[in-house]
Structure 1
Amino acid sequence: MAAVQIETIDLENTKDDDVVLIPNENEDDSLTEKARELAAEKHKEVGNTQYKLKQYSKALKCYTEAINICPAVAAYYGNRAACYMMLGMYTYALDDAKHALTLDPKFSKALIRQIKCNIALGDVPTAHANLKTLAELDPDNPAIAQETKAVEAMAKNFDGASKAFSGNDYRTAMFYLDRAMDQGVASKIYKLMKAECMAHLNRLQEAQEIANSILATDKQNPDAVFVRGLCLYYDDKMDLATNHFQLLLKLAPDHAKAKETYKRAKLLKAKKDEGNEKFVAGKNQEAFDIYTEALKIDARNININSKLLHNRATVLFRMGKYNEAIADCTLALEKDPNYLKALIRRSKCFYELGQYKECVQDAEKICKMDSTRENRSFLEEAKRLLKRSEVKDYYKILGVTKNATSDDIKKAYRKRALVHHPDRHTNATQAQKLEQEKLFKEVGEAYGVLSDPTKRSRYDRGEDVMDEGGMGGHAGANLFEQHMFQTYFDPTGRGGSGVRFQYYQ
């Protein structure tokens, strides 16, 4: 019977799924043992060619054909193991390397590939055991020193990661895990520990991607399922998280982390719901106390804690405790800088306290995040009040109320002017003189506005009265001084009290 025919192929133009080898139609068990061996060798040779060309998928098919024809040849499994390794399929590679060793216990290449797979999968104990076997089988093999160095480096880094993880130092744990994965490239243990670290650090999307990649090939991996549930928990999707943990505990009833997190998730949800009910019922102190209890359950759950802080701030706002509400909103924003509700609540607290500069700063951020008509209106109102607050309180300067009559203003004006006039402070220190001069001019500014009905009306409406000849600079002060001397302190005694003061400018 004829031997297997080999098709001539163009490697550059051949697609991965092209048939490389075409056996005779009569190739079956009727082939002689010699013919089968020759056919298998042909497949292996083509596989070796493809392997050298880095066409690993094609080489894999060739080695599989060789194995199908002659399943008792260790070299074919060894070669296919090498292909699987190049394709990152270390579990399959490990199976082939193990099988090759059952066929030929002295096949050192297969043992080396098994060690490499052990390292790639993060199996330190088995790698050490196989290195010992290799040393007994082939003591001069250079792979012993090379792979020993790799496995020891990996073990050391994983030990560092484990210690940091136990101390909740997740950033340091990830630092060591990344280095452990330089060797343990396919270790599910390392990947899932890293994913759990990411979840604790609120890098939820990255953590889920790692968990999902493992579940794609290992659908019931309990640690991968746990990481996915943990991400839901930290994302404040408590209903989905609790359902996830319930399913996981059916799959792995003794999963300690799942039990603990499931308990926390249920407790957090219950406390948050209870606090909300008390708030709606108007029981502010009870709602405050419940939110405070909830905040003690899990300090690492950033998303729900930021919401609990905002809820507690809302209670404090209702109770008129604006400074405390600001503190809670600030903590919530530290956890989540884009938390719009907390920013709105804090801006309203600043508004109520008359801290308009801070209010405007928050309101501007709010409008960048959500430029609704309501938010824009609030910003404009805050800006108006900020501008108004920056204007001097002339009623306070003169010591009168906003309902003061013109006569009240005149009397207050005369009294204050006498108190602060520089001539009355000639024996004061230079600093005191400057202070009295400042106060003296402010009295002039205040009188210049409040004695003028038009300016006073504009001032009361919060409009700008810093117009030409108005208050505020030298003009306002000089106007006041001239008026004072002419009306109240006329040196001739005809226009006022007859008291003489040195003109001061």
Structure 2
Amino acid sequence: MCPKNASYYGNRAATLMMLGRFREALGDAQQSVRLDDSFVRGHLREGKCHLSLGNAMAACRSFQRALELDHKNAQAQQEFKNANAVMEYEKIAETDFEKRDFRKVVFCMDRALEFAPACHRFKILKAECLAMLGRYPEAQSVASDILRMDSTNADALYVRGLCLYYEDCIEKAVQFFVQALRMAPDHEKACIACRNAKALKAKKEDGNKAFKEGNYKLAYELYTEALGIDPNNIKTNAKLYCNRGTVNSKLRKLDDAIEDCTNAVKLDDTYIKAYLRRAQCYMDTEQYEEAVRDYEKVYQTEKTKEHKQLLKNAQLELKKSKRKDYYKILGVDKNASEDEIKKAYRKRALMHHPDRHSGASAEVQKEEEKKFKEVGEAFTILSDPKKKTRYDSGQDLDEEGMNMGDFDPNNIFKAFFGGPGGFSFEASGPGSFFFQFG
């Protein structure tokens, strides 16, 4: 009825702004100042719409024009400051994104969005950084809000795919990347992410296939190649490290397997499978304290009977490792027969008998006496089936009433080699001895 009235367009712009429809409001505000360039409130509304939509530079021009018309206008002065603050946040965010300081970018975007609540660009940048920080639910929520308003927004589709990709849902992620590229064929980030996702999926699957076929060398190579595709994909890379650790354990490269599992838990400290794999490698390399630590971590997270038993086994082996290793003292395997234990005792007892070292220094004599006593202890325990069973099971031998502190190795030696006259050391020259059996 009155299409040339600037105030009507200005009023409708204000109403649309209250409804959060800033893009429509912007059109009305621009029309109002086209009809009347001296309409201060029209310029203010135009600037406010530009600012809400994230175009801080255009907002500055509108607020500047309002100040030219009314240099004392407090609203124009404040909004001009707000627009400049948004431009500064944008500038800082751009620099920090290049530095991969994603927390700082999120902070800047949160501050900018206080003045530009309808800016999809700021929201997308925030969501992308949240995804890079592993805060996937928050990132998904931001992207989903945008997609509810604009289902064809390629940037939001890309962020949804990125979250799925980083959560190791690679197949679903590819679908979102493809959809984003359908909406914007030149979307560089979606293109790179789609390519990486497809390559990662293929390499991982090929590695799994090679492992199942027992081709561990090829599996190792494929997992290594997969790890080089995208260092930002933490969850998938954690699984790849664990898989490669399993390969190394099969190849008996246990130190390498431990290193791979350590890299896996550095990336994902909730990854139970990696802790279990590393703990087993620690057990195999007799690093029992480390194994106990990992099994404790697992059991605290998942209190299953299986995990409890694994922890108990590791604790037992740790306890056993802190005692004297009688098998090692005699130089025999843990599965040694009775005859092998006797032969080992005979050899070690003769080697460390104090009479054989009577001409040595006091320090050497003391050391050999200690070894002679330990050899006697070892034989006493391992030659007695009952004591050996208790020793192997990790039980305390003192419960048997055997105080090893009062142990006399000479009694064992005499009982083994016979009474007086049955055995003696005789010198055949200065500092040397030979054995004589009766």
| TM-score band w.r.t. shorter chain | 0.7 to 0.9
Query: Given the alignment of the two structures, is residue 387 of structure 1 paired with residue 322 of structure 2, yes or no?
Result: no
Please say if residues 349 and 413 of structure 2, whose CA atoms lie closer than 8 Å, have aligned partners that are also in contact.
no
Deviation of 1:122 after TM superposition, in Å, equals 1.5
Change (3 A) 1:422 1:214: farther
Select between 243-252 and 164-173 the one with higher mean Cα deviation: 164-173
Please state whether the residue corresponding to 1:181 is helix, strand or coil: helix
Query: Given the alignment of the two structures, is residue 415 of structure 1 paired with residue 330 of structure 2, yes or no?
Result: no
Equivalent positions of 1:127-206 (< 5 A) are 127-206=59-138
Deviation of 1:78 after TM superposition, in Å, equals 3.9
Please state whether the residue corresponding to 2:353 is helix, strand or coil: helix
Distance 1:435 1:483 in 2: 19
Query: Given the alignment of the two structures, is residue 122 of structure 1 paired with residue 54 of structure 2, yes or no?
Result: yes
Query: Given the alignment of the two structures, is residue 109 of structure 1 paired with residue 41 of structure 2, yes or no?
Result: yes
Deviation of 1:155 after TM superposition, in Å, equals 0.8
Distance 1:214 1:433 in 2: 84
Query: Given the alignment of the two structures, is residue 363 of structure 1 paired with residue 295 of structure 2, yes or no?
Result: yes
Pick from 392, 403, 408: which aligns with 2:337?
403
Change (3 A) 1:398 1:319: closer
Please say if residues 422 and 437 of structure 1, whose CA atoms lie closer than 8 Å, have aligned partners that are also in contact.
no
Please state whether the residue corresponding to 2:230 is helix, strand or coil: coil
Deviation of 1:459 after TM superposition, in Å, equals 2.1
Distance 2:141 2:304 in 1: 35
Please state whether the residue corresponding to 1:345 is helix, strand or coil: helix
Please say if residues 420 and 440 of structure 1, whose CA atoms lie closer than 8 Å, have aligned partners that are also in contact.
no
Change (3 A) 1:330 1:496: same
Query: Given the alignment of the two structures, is residue 477 of structure 1 paired with residue 405 of structure 2, yes or no?
Result: yes
Distance 1:400 1:246 in 2: 64
Pick from 232, 237, 240: which aligns with 1:300?
232
Corresponding residue for 1:289? 221
Identical amino acids, percent of aligned pairs? 40
Select between 397-406 and 113-122 the one with higher mean Cα deviation: 397-406
Please say if residues 366 and 375 of structure 1, whose CA atoms lie closer than 8 Å, have aligned partners that are also in contact.
yes
Please say if residues 51 and 115 of structure 2, whose CA atoms lie closer than 8 Å, have aligned partners that are also in contact.
yes
Distance 2:337 2:407 in 1: 24
TM-score (normalised: structure 1): 0.73
Corresponding residue for 1:63? none
Please say if residues 54 and 116 of structure 2, whose CA atoms lie closer than 8 Å, have aligned partners that are also in contact.
yes
Please say if residues 487 and 495 of structure 1, whose CA atoms lie closer than 8 Å, have aligned partners that are also in contact.
no
Pick from 323, 338, 341: which aligns with 2:273?
341
1:418 counterpart letter in structure 2 = H
- Unaligned runs of at least 5 residues, structure 2: 427-438
Distance 2:73 2:392 in 1: 95
Question: 1:185-244 CA distances to partner (integer Å, 9 max, x unpaired)?
Answer: 332111111111111222211111111111111222221111111112222222212222
Question: 1:51-78 CA distances to partner (integer Å, 9 max, x unpaired)?
Answer: xxxxxxxxxxxxxxxxxx9776544554
Deviation of 1:487 after TM superposition, in Å, equals 8.2
Deviation of 1:171 after TM superposition, in Å, equals 2.7
Pick from 249, 252, 260: which aligns with 2:181?
249
Distance 1:451 1:280 in 2: 45
Distance 1:91 1:383 in 2: 67
Q: Which one has a bigger Cα radius of gyration?
A: 1
Change (3 A) 1:168 1:112: same
Please state whether the residue corresponding to 1:467 is helix, strand or coil: helix
Select between 236-245 and 323-332 the one with higher mean Cα deviation: 236-245
- Unaligned runs of at least 5 residues, structure 1: 1-68, 500-505
Which protein is richer in helix relative to its size? 2
Please say if residues 349 and 376 of structure 2, whose CA atoms lie closer than 8 Å, have aligned partners that are also in contact.
no
TM-score (normalised: structure 2): 0.82
Corresponding residue for 2:397? 465
Structure having greater relative contact order (Cα 8 Å, sep ≥ 6): 2
Q: How many matched pairs?
A: 420
Change (3 A) 1:438 1:73: farther
Corresponding residue for 1:220? 152
Corresponding residue for 2:386? 454
Change (3 A) 1:92 1:381: same
Deviation of 1:104 after TM superposition, in Å, equals 3.9
1:477 counterpart letter in structure 2 = G
Change (3 A) 1:479 1:268: closer
Question: 1:284-308 CA distances to partner (integer Å, 9 max, x unpaired)?
Answer: 1111111111111100011111111
Deviation of 1:272 after TM superposition, in Å, equals 1.2
Distance 1:257 1:487 in 2: 83
Distance 2:74 2:304 in 1: 71
Distance 1:154 1:388 in 2: 66
Pick from 135, 139, 142: which aligns with 1:210?
142
Corresponding residue for 1:13? none
Please say if residues 398 and 416 of structure 1, whose CA atoms lie closer than 8 Å, have aligned partners that are also in contact.
no
Please state whether the residue corresponding to 1:300 is helix, strand or coil: coil
Deviation of 1:164 after TM superposition, in Å, equals 2.0
